[in-house]
């Protein structure tokens, strides 16, 4: 164990930075040449995405195969394979990047490793079939800097994700890691200075609430107590949002540094990370980072010789969405059911084990070290008047470029969906974008030019939430989307307060009725009244926001609700009970394929003669539709 | 208190887990995580044993086990199937995949087939949204699925 002083840290930074020069230089390289060992490039690196999405497509096997291919070419001393955190461009995963020429390979398979090494690394020729193709003009783009998906992004919280090896603390240090902490502990910044800087930056909580972070720290700092706690809320429960996991997987040290700085500022010496047990890779990387930081004396007793003590422990969540609410989270950490309690008292006054506790979300914390290094003014210069900096969004659904993106606050939905996201999948028509997860709402075409920030989204009837952004097209039924979210909330309600436990259940029942074609116009009125009542009377954030998906779809897609009720029709052809499958006898070639795959044996007919669906037997699973090669299945 | 029917070695392992956490009720969730990893589920007897060790009512342990979706009281199948019900998967057709699984296996969500081969669950976001819709069988992720793919996937598993 090496106990670091501040000068040791600076020395390590210089030597570690040398190892990163290759990668840093590729960020500014513009020549577009293809580097290789045969053309005299002395050292090369292959970055392989090790995020959960790419790992699900065997990126670890790709890394292994690359290593063996390099061995076979006897190039082990000149080429290094590095597994990084998430690159963000999940749609194109697994992703592999070649340094220093910045070549970006997409949809890489384990069997491509040999060709990448032989052709590119040794031979100096790009593997063109693995390059990204610009959907606009069909041209191959080799350098990731020139891909639209990345061009508009500003990466602050994700600054190191997909760039450094998350399991090597030296690479974090090389990227100015632990510099902000060292500065604070060296006496250059007093506790109040740190808090003031965060306040001045305008940083607001990224977990959903948008509460000013500096103010939260100040409130906890003011409390007089022998023991205080810093808690990192990593219980990312919003279905479809995975930025916190990506940050922990790709840059765990930034969280550790930020928590330590927070501990110093508020006078706490104990940190706890409350993380979902379903995130094994993030837990692993966090553990590795904690032990490496402890080894360097960046955690533990007398950090950097300053006399300040701080350590971090990991607590597991066990799958309860409500635990993202800070009082519920604290109860869960105490070994209890994660039920929220009324505030005040705020956790700043009485939190974990009754002691003052500061709870911040992962993405919020990831911004802290950069703000202190580059200054509050710099951070405040990005974003809108009341929402500073950037926000990470998990862009998913019916969009071409699914992935994790980070954009300045104030970017419009249109820029996100059409420029970064590459537009709607399969040339379909945009219908809505859902932000804020189960607590948010659906925004429509008329909101596309709204600059995204905390307040604008609320004004539009949705919310920022943790940053899930699900794009929907003309084939999505908004009534069943509302039902999907309500189903989630009902399942996740802790049951403590009546409006949430019973009110949401009633909302769900009404929505089920409507999607089954049994709704009445009175039901629509009831949805609205009941939704507003729950909003006003539920105890915690989960209950108060749970009717949002219903209220916002009612407002923006009222006609669709009416079609379900009055005409007993689902315009998007999604609600099973309202659909009829039939075969167009003109188009049907009698190939038997649908009949063979129909799980209900509901299709009859003789070969080469038009087939018929027996409606009484049809279970409306859509199997025939997906199987028919002649577009002969009609849904009405 | 009901008679504890757990195997002796399980009893001693659960007791060791509780002791490791100083029999501290504040550690209940960590204890349950470790206890569940022994057999893949937390049967009633195990909950009673933990309650007795920590000196808290069994109802309290039961309350926590049933509150969190990660804890389960039913044994999982040899091939535990989890269908991602995150929003990204939902809008790309996860419900159809789930319907097909239910139909083929003849079980509902949260159940295990009588032969103990498969169990079916939903989970909220694997984070592989680029591959939506996805299911997990054991540790393996199957992505970009259609209902028609399910038959082959199930047939391949022993």
- Taking the CB of residue A212, how many other CB atoms lie within 10 A of it? 17
Which of A319, A394, A398 is nearest residue B91 as measured by Cβ atoms?
A398
Whether A339 and A401 map to the same domain: the answer is: no
Interchain CB distance below 8 Å, B130 and A402: yes
Residue A234 lies inside a defined structural domain of this protein:
yes
CA distances from A456 to A386, A414, A587, A601, B70 (A): 10, 14, 49, 52, 36
Binding-site annotation, residues of B for [2Fe-2S] cluster: 84, 89, 125, 129
Distance from CA of B93 to the nearest CA of A (A): 10
Parallel, antiparallel, or unpaired for β A103-105 and A79-84? Answer: unpaired
Distance of alpha carbon A395 from alpha carbon A471, whole angstroms = 8
Whether A44 and A88 map to the same domain: the answer is: yes
Whether A433 and A532 map to the same domain: the answer is: no
Range of the domain at A115: 18-149
- State ipTM: 0.90
Whether A199 and A340 map to the same domain: the answer is: yes
Q: Are A283 and A275 in contact (CB under 8 A)?
A: yes
Interchain CB distance below 8 Å, A398 and B92: yes
Could you report the average pLDDT of every consecutive run of 10 residues in chain A (636 residues)?
85 91 80 82 93 90 97 93 94 92 94 96 94 89 90 95 96 96 94 98 92 97 97 89 93 98 98 91 96 96 95 93 93 95 94 97 98 97 96 94 95 96 94 92 94 93 90 95 94 93 97 96 97 96 93 96 96 92 94 91 93 93 90 92
B43: left (phi > 0), else alpha (psi -120 to 50), else beta? beta
Chain A residues whose beta carbon lies within 8 Å of the beta carbon of residue B99: 621
Whether A209 and A331 map to the same domain: the answer is: yes
Distance of alpha carbon A116 from alpha carbon A122, whole angstroms = 9
A430 interface with B at CB cutoff 8 Å = no
Distance from CA of B26 to the nearest CA of A (A): 5
* Domain count within chain A: 5
Which of A316, A338, A437 is nearest residue B30 as measured by Cβ atoms?
A316
Chain A residues whose beta carbon lies within 8 Å of the beta carbon of residue B85: 239, 488
Whether A363 and A335 map to the same domain: the answer is: yes
pLDDT tens digits, A368-396: 999 999 999 999 999 999 999 999 999 99
Nearest chain B residue to A487 by CA: give it: B85
B16 interface with A at CB cutoff 8 Å = no
Whether A190 and A249 map to the same domain: the answer is: yes
Q: What is the pLDDT of residue A1?
A: 57
A468 interface with B at CB cutoff 8 Å = yes
List all residues of chain A from 46 to 75 with a beta carbon under 8 Å from chain B. Answer: 52-53, 56-57
Q: Are A395 and A418 in contact (CB under 8 A)?
A: no
Interchain CB distance below 8 Å, A396 and B87: yes
Of A348, A379, A410, which residue constitutes the final position of a domain?
A379
Which of A53, A431, A469 best tests the B interface by mutation, with the highest count of B CBs <10 A?
A: A53
Interchain CB distance below 8 Å, A397 and B30: no
Of A429, A454, A473, which residue constitutes the final position of a domain?
A473
| Span B130-138, average pLDDT | 90
Distance of alpha carbon B75 from alpha carbon A314, whole angstroms = 27
Distance of alpha carbon A39 from alpha carbon A612, whole angstroms = 66
Chain B residues whose beta carbon lies within 8 Å of the beta carbon of residue A245: 127
Of A435, A453, A473, which residue constitutes the final position of a domain?
A473
Side-chain-side CA neighbours of residue A552 (13 Å):
30
For residue A309 the two structure tokens come to: 């003590």
Cα–Cα nearest to A466, from A159, A160, A210: A210
For residue A250 the two structure tokens come to: 């790709």
Q: What is the pLDDT of residue A30?
A: 66
Whether A59 and A25 map to the same domain: the answer is: yes
Give me the residues paired with residue A388 across strands: A383
Q: Are B47 and B99 in contact (CB under 8 A)?
A: no
| Span B89-96, average pLDDT | 90
Cα–Cα nearest to A307, from A297, A294, A292: A297
Whether A31 and A130 map to the same domain: the answer is: yes
A270 interface with B at CB cutoff 8 Å = no
- The CATH number of whichever domain residue A418 belongs to comes to 3.10.20.600
- Can you give the length of chain A in residues? 636
Residue A9 lies inside a defined structural domain of this protein:
no
List all residues of chain A from 597 to 636 with a beta carbon under 8 Å from chain B. Answer: 597, 599, 619, 621-623, 626-627
A434 interface with B at CB cutoff 8 Å = yes
Q: Which residues of A544-563 are buried (b: 16+ CB within 10 A; e: fewer)?
A: bbbbbbbbbbbebbeebbeb
Which of A52, A335, A488 is nearest residue B127 as measured by Cβ atoms?
A52
Which of B26, B67, B128 is nearest residue A52 as measured by Cβ atoms?
B128
Q: What are the domain boundaries of chain B?
A: 8-67, 79-156
Q: What is the pLDDT of residue A42?
A: 86
Whether A233 and A349 map to the same domain: the answer is: yes
At residue B4 the predicted structure's pLDDT band, cuts being 50, 70 and 90, is: low
Chain A residues whose beta carbon lies within 8 Å of the beta carbon of residue B24: 335
Q: What is the pLDDT of residue A220?
A: 98
Which of A56, A336, A488 is nearest residue B64 as measured by Cβ atoms?
A336
| Span B75-96, average pLDDT | 91
Residue A158 lies inside a defined structural domain of this protein:
no
Q: Which CATH architecture has domain B79-156?
A: 3-Layer(aba) Sandwich (3.40)
A572 interface with B at CB cutoff 8 Å = no
- The CATH number of whichever domain residue A229 belongs to comes to 3.40.50.11540
Whether A28 and A66 map to the same domain: the answer is: yes
Parallel, antiparallel, or unpaired for β A357-361 and A229-234? Answer: parallel
Whether A91 and A197 map to the same domain: the answer is: no
Cα–Cα nearest to A600, from B150, B81, B104: B104
More confident site: B127 or A258: A258
Distance from CA of B76 to the nearest CA of A (A): 16
Distance from CA of B127 to the nearest CA of A (A): 6
B37 interface with A at CB cutoff 8 Å = no
Q: What is the pLDDT of residue B1?
A: 47
A488 interface with B at CB cutoff 8 Å = yes
């Amino acid at each position: 164990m090496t106990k670091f002083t501040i000068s040791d840290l600076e020395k390590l930074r210089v030597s570690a930075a040398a190892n990163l020069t290759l990668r840093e230089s590729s960020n500014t390289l513009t020549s577009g040449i293809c580097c290789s060992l045969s053309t005299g490039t002395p050292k090369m690196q292959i970055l392989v995405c090790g995020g959960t999405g790419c790992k699900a497509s065997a990126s670890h096997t790709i890394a292994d195969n690359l290593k063996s291919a390099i061995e076979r070419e006897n190039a082990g001393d000149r080429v290094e394979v590095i597994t990084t955190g998430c690159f963000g461009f999940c749609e194109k995963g697994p992703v592999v990047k070649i340094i220093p020429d910045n070549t970006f390979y997409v949809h890489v398979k384990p069997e491509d490793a040999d060709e990448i090494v032989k052709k590119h690394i040794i031979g100096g020729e790009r593997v063109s079939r693995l390059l990204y193709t610009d959907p606009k003009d069909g041209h191959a783009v080799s350098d990731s800097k020139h891909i639209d998906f990345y061009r508009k992004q500003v990466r602050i919280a994700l600054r190191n994700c997909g760039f450094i090896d998350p399991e090597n603390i030296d690479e974090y240090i090389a990227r100015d890691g632990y510099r902000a902490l060292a500065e604070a502990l060296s006496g250059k910044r007093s506790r109040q200075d740190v808090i003031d800087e965060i306040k001045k930056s305008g940083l607001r909580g990224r977990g959903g609430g948008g509460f000013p972070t500096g103010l939260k720290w100040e409130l906890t700092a003011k409390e007089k107590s022998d023991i205080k706690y810093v808690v990192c809320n990593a219980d990312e429960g919003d279905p479809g949002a995975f930025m916190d996991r990506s940050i922990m997987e790709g840059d765990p040290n930034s969280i550790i540094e930020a928590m330590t700085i927070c501990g110093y500022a508020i006078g706490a010496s104990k940190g706890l990370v409350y993380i979902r047990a379903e995130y094994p890779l993030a837990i692993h990387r966090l553990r590795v980072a904690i032990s490496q930081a402890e080894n360097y004396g960046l955690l533990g007793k007398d950090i950097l010789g300053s006399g300040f003590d701080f350590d971090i422990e990991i607590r597991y969540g066990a799958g309860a969405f409500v635990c993202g609410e800070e009082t519920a989270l604290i109860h869960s950490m105490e070994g209890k059911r994660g039920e929220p309690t009324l505030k005040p008292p705020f956790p700043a006054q009485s939190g974990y084990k009754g002691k003052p506790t500061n709870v911040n979300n992962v993405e919020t914390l990831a911004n802290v070290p950069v703000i202190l290094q580059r200054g509050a003014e710099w951070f405040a210069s990005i974003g809108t008047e009341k929402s500073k900096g950037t926000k990470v969004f998990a862009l998913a659904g019916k969009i071409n470029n699914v992935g994790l993106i980070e954009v300045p606050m104030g970017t419009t939905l249109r820029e996100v969906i059409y420029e970064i996201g590459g537009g709607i999948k399969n040339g379909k028509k945009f219908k809505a974008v859902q932000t804020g997860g189960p607590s948010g709402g659906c925004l429509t075409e008329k909101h596309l030019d709204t600059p995204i920030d905390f307040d604008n989204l609320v004004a539009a009837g949705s919310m920022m939430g943790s940053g899930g952004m699900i794009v929907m097209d003309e084939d999505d039924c908004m009534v069943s989307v509302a039902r999907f979210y309500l189903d989630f909330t009902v399942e996740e309600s802790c049951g403590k307060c009546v409006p949430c436990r019973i009110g949401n259940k009633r909302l769900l029942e009404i929505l089920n009725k409507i999607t089954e074609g049994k709704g009445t116009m009175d039901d629509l009125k009831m949805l609205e009244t009941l939704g507003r009542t729950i909003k006003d009377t539920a105890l915690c954030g989960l209950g108060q926001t749970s009717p949002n998906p219903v209220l916002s779809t009612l407002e923006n897609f009222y006609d669709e609700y009416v079609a379900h009720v009055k005409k007993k029709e689902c315009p998007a052809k999604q609600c099973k009970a309202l659909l009829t499958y039939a075969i167009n006898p003109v188009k049907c070639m009698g190939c038997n394929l649908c009949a063979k795959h129909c799980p209900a044996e509901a299709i009859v007919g003789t070969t080469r003669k038009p087939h018929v669906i027996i409606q009484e037997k049809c279970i409306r699973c859509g199997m025939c539709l997906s199987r028919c090669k002649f577009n002969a299945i009609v849904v009405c | 208190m009901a008679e504890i029917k757990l195997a002796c070695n399980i009893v001693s392992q659960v007791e060791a887990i509780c002791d490791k956490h100083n029999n501290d009720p504040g550690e209940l969730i960590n204890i349950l995580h470790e206890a569940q990893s022994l057999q893949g589920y937390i049967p009633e007897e195990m909950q009673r044993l933990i309650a007795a060790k920590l000196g808290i009512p069994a109802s309290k342990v039961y309350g926590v086990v049933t509150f969190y979706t990660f804890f389960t009281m039913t044994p999982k199948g040899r091939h535990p199937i989890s269908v991602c019900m995150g929003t990204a998967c939902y809008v790309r057709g996860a419900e159809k995949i789930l319907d097909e699984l239910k139909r083929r296996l003849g079980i509902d969500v949260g159940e295990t087939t009588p032969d103990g081969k498969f169990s079916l669950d939903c989970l909220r976001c694997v984070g592989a949204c680029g591959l939506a819709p996805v299911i997990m069988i054991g540790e393996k992720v199957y992505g970009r699925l259609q209902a028609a793919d399910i038959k082959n996937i199930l047939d391949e598993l022993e």
